Amino acid sequence: MKKALFIFVAVALAATFSGGSVLAITVDTNLMPASAGGEAPIVKVKWEMNGPYYDPYFWGTDDSSQAGAQFHAPGIWEATKTVSFCAVVTDPDGVAQINGVYADFYYPNDRAFHPEDPSHPDQIDGGTPAVPDYGLSGCGEQVGDELSLTQLSKADGIELFCNQVRNYNNNLPTWYSSYDYDEVCAADGELEKEDAYVYCGDRDIIWEDPAGDYLVEIFALDDPGNFSNTLTNYFEYLPLTAYETDFTLVDYGNVSLNVQKNIAGDLTWGTSDRPSVRNLGNTRLYMGVVQDDMDLGTTGGVYNVSYRARVGNEEADWSGYVPYDPTTWLEDILDLSEIEEMDFSILVTKFPNQGPFYGQMTLSAMFANFRECFPS
């Protein structure tokens, strides 16, 4: 028995120390940047604007006169919005020592987006403040990775910042400390003397990225390894509630008296006989519907026709309405970038004549609350 045990241990040791691939070992590594010399660079001012930055048409522009940068969502399926991130950066040891200027930006931290959190399922009508719909994305997480900004020429930098921004969108930038236009743009100032430069870079956000306030951080690093101040602000992705349908007609076909007739939608875009709807905006939304009486009229003050509609295919989601009811808002909420089927249903309780009958429905959309971040 002892002998057998000894052989087992010997084999195990051989496997451990053979240097082969039988067992993995973990080795710690560490480093420190070499001690820095000189002084740190300074990010004096920063801003976001419509991009791309290499097109002077966009220089210094955003989509609202409010202080800071605000941008419209494109409102087009799968479209992108280019945002430019810019800063004026200097280094007391000379701009040649600036090694890089970097930007990071983050989703709004006060809302989430899809997917649904499976451990906290969606609620009817988006839930309540106490029990809302939760989402697993967004919540302040970084959008993409860090962005390296590009140095503009002296002439481009001065035209962009000291003319377009200063003269036409004065409240766009965020300043560090007590720096101001007079100091940065002086005739004998740093941009003129090329002791500072404008740096810019571009990133796209997409049509379905949630509306809200996006945190932006910009900092610089010099050759010896000194970090500048980090200058932060927010830009706003302005809310847009918008949708489109792939149908312009609901043909109920042959309808029998007192028989509910359904027209089923589908999830396929471009099949106009199978109604579909999709979210073009950057908020969640409810679809709403209003319908006339298709000239089917009333009997004893009661309409001879009634309707039902729903978004999606859950039996519980049917909503009923009669002609000229105020807008009926439908469950489910149409999520960001979501395509859903729309189903319609009609019930005729009396035909006033032989027909045919024609009418119109009006579709509309209403903002629905964002998903929320589950408290951590």
Q: Is 245 in the site for Ca ion (CB under 5 A)?
A: no
- Among 185-193, 250-258, 267-275, 305-313, which window interacts with Ca ion (CB under 5 A)? 267-275
Q: Of 273 and 314, which has the nearer Cβ to Ca ion?
A: 273
Q: CB 270 → Ca ion: shortest distance, Å?
A: 7
- C-alpha closest to that of 307 among 229, 250, 267: 250
Least CB distance from residue 63 to Ca ion, whole Å?
7
Task: Restricting to residues 127-186, name those near Ca ion by CB under 5 A.
Answer: none
Smallest distance from Ca ion to CB 306, Å: 25
Q: Report the nearest approach of Ca ion to the CB of residue 110 (Å).
A: 21
Instruction: Please report whether residue 271 would count as binding Ca ion according to CB under 5 A.
Output: yes
Which residues, in sequence order, are CB contacts of 33 under 8 Å at separation 6+? 225
- b/e burial code for range 298-315 (CB count within 10 A of at least 16 → b): eeeeebbbbbbbbbbeee
Q: How many CA atoms lie within 13 A of 165 on its CB side?
A: 32
Q: How far is CA 179 from CA 46, 89, 207, 287, 370, in A?
A: 11, 12, 35, 49, 38
Residue 332 in contact with Ca ion, rule: CB under 5 A: no
Site string for Ca ion, 220-239 (x = CB under 5 A): --x-----------------
Helix (H, G, I), strand (E, B) or coil at 97: helix
DSSP 8-state assignment for residue 316: G
Q: Applying CB under 5 A, does 350 fall inside the site for Ca ion?
A: no
Residue closest to Ca ion (Cβ): 276
Q: Which is nearer to Ca ion, 50 or 241 (CB)?
A: 50
My answer on whether omega of the bond before 356 falls inside 30° of 0, hence cis, is yes
Which range in 26-34, 151-159, 231-239, 260-268 contacts Ca ion by CB under 5 A?
Answer: 260-268
- 266 near Ca ion, rule: CB under 5 A: yes
Count of residues touching Ca ion (by CB under 5 A): 15
Number of H helices, E strands in the chain: 4, 23
Query: Which CB sits closer to Ca ion, 97 or 304?
Result: 97
CA distances from 65 to 205, 213, 236, 238 (A): 21, 16, 12, 13
Which listed residue (261, 274, 278, 350) binds Ca ion by CB under 5 A? 274
Among 90, 97, 228, 241, binds Ca ion (CB under 5 A): 97
Angle at 255 between CA 249 and CA 258, to 5 degrees: 130
Nearest to 241 by CA among 273, 279, 277, 213: 279
**In the complex, minimum distance from the CB of residue 251 to Ca ion, in angstroms, rounded to a whole number:** 14
∠ CA 363-213-118, rounded to 5°: 65
Print the binding letters for residues 33-72 with Ca ion: x by CB under 5 A, - otherwise. -----xx----------------------x-x-x------
CB of 108 to Ca ion, least distance (A): 17
100 near Ca ion, rule: CB under 5 A: no
CA atoms of 333 and 277, how far apart (whole Å): 12
Shortest distance, CB of residue 355 to Ca ion, whole angstroms? 27
* DSSP strand pairing (328-334 vs 284-291): antiparallel
Binding site for Ca ion (CB under 5 A): 38-39, 62, 64, 66, 91, 93, 97, 222, 246, 266, 268, 271, 274, 276
